[in-house]
Structure 1
Amino acid sequence: MIKRLVITGYKPHELGIFNPNHPGIPYIKKAIKKQLIPLLEEGLEWVLLSGQLGVETWAAEVIWDLQMDYPELKYAVITPFLDQEKNWNEDKREKYEEILMNADFHSTITNKPYKGPWQFIEKNKFFIRNSDALLAVYDDEKAGSPQFILKVAKMYAEEHNYELILINAYDLQVLIEEDMYSDGSA
């Protein structure tokens, strides 16, 4: 049973998304929601996020929606280092603050500002050790930042009961086509 789930995925620029109103975002959110509902029905309690922009931000928004029907669902934002939002623009910082404010728990792994890539490595190891599964929006055909936590998760899964759930480009395309078909656009 999956009680604690890590959600991660691409950052917006890795997907070519530079606008918060990009038409692809609702499909990514819909795909995340589609994966979360059965897990919630089976007893999912916590989602762990590191607060990165992109998939993790959109996942937090999905969680807010789901909490209406699943008030027992909680989420934690556990950052790899302090002040990760320091160099973000004002809009991104505001969204990040909203995500932190609504989180049931938030903390940092290293309790210091950015010192080096080792902080991301420690965050990845912490997340995998303290969860039952990883849900990632990631496609092996398009390398990106999620590949590092996926590598840790795959190694961990070889020796532990750990589940990997991937949402890839094909999954997103299916959702788009389903929407087009149901709208009569196809």
Structure 2
Amino acid sequence: MKTLIAGYRPYELGIFKDTQPEAEVLKQFMREKVRAYAETGTEWFIIQGYTGIEFYAAEAIMDLREEYGFKFSVLKPFHKFDDRYKEEDQLKLNRILEASDFHNFVFNRPYESPKMFRMINRFLIEHSDQALIVFDEEVESKTRFIYEQMLEFQENNPYNIERIQFDEINAFIDSAYER
């Protein structure tokens, strides 16, 4: 089973430093999700290398993969897609790439036009069996585009989508305080 992970960038969540409490909560949350998917048969996790949810998931994947034996790949959208990343984020991405079992580009060339994103999303969806996506319709985001394509694909194909909304993350926070 191959699981695609997608979600918000940190700035879309009001997170500007990894040390913010919100970032720590999301890292813990993603760790629990990765663990649950590993326990139900995910053999490969797929991310694109975006900051935010994908980086938090990658941390969990790197921490848990020895315990569970799954693998992970980073399929960057196109050449130079991360050129605008801050140096700190570029270093994190490089660590993630080094730790991945496979990494490559969906398009083996630089960005050319907005239509590339739709083709990239389609490729990722078609090459995964299910998706874990952090997306709440109440918060506008670019994540909406891949989510809508997942729904379109799901209409004619067996494709499980677990959409995480902020209510679920808040419930996770509440349960953490109860422990």
User: Scaled by the length of structure 1, what TM-score is found?
Assistant: 0.92
Partner SS, residue 21 of structure 2? coil
Residue number in structure 2 paired with 1:7: 5
Mapped to 1, the partners of 2:86 and 2:32 lie a distance apart of 31
> Once the 2 structures are TM-superposed, how far is the Cα of residue 8 of structure 1 from its aligned partner?
0.6
- The residue type paired with residue 110 of structure 1 is F
- The residue type paired with residue 114 of structure 1 is Y
Residue number in structure 2 paired with 1:17: 15
> Once the 2 structures are TM-superposed, how far is the Cα of residue 30 of structure 1 from its aligned partner?
2.5
Please identify, of 111-120 and 74-83, the stretch whose mean Cα deviation from structure 2 is larger. Answer: 111-120
Structure 2 unmatched runs, 5+: none
Residue number in structure 1 paired with 2:27: 29
Structure 1 unmatched runs, 5+: none
Residue 156 (str. 1) matches residue 153 (str. 2): yes
Mapped to 2, the partners of 1:128 and 1:118 lie a distance apart of 16
Mapped to 1, the partners of 2:33 and 2:88 lie a distance apart of 28
Residue number in structure 1 paired with 2:177: 180
Q: Deviations over 1:101-126 (max 9, x none)?
A: 11110111111112222222111000
> Once the 2 structures are TM-superposed, how far is the Cα of residue 33 of structure 1 from its aligned partner?
2.6
> Once the 2 structures are TM-superposed, how far is the Cα of residue 48 of structure 1 from its aligned partner?
0.7
Q: Deviations over 1:140-176 (max 9, x none)?
A: 1112111111011001111111001011111111111
Residue of 114, 122, 131 corresponding to 2:128: 131
> Once the 2 structures are TM-superposed, how far is the Cα of residue 34 of structure 1 from its aligned partner?
2.5
- The residue type paired with residue 56 of structure 2 is W
Which aligned pairs between 1:39-58 and structure 2 lie closer than 5 A? 39-58=37-56
- The residue type paired with residue 111 of structure 1 is N
Mapped to 2, the partners of 1:133 and 1:155 lie a distance apart of 13
Alignment check: 8 A CA contact 1:109 1:122 kept: no
Mapped to 1, the partners of 2:100 and 2:174 lie a distance apart of 33
- Give the helix-richer structure, 1 or 2: 2
RMSD of equivalent CA atoms? 1.2
- The residue type paired with residue 117 of structure 1 is P
Residue 104 (str. 1) matches residue 101 (str. 2): yes
Mapped to 2, the partners of 1:86 and 1:123 lie a distance apart of 18
- The residue type paired with residue 42 of structure 2 is L
> Once the 2 structures are TM-superposed, how far is the Cα of residue 181 of structure 1 from its aligned partner?
2.0
Moved over 3 A (4+): none
Residue 171 (str. 1) matches residue 168 (str. 2): yes
- The residue type paired with residue 154 of structure 1 is L
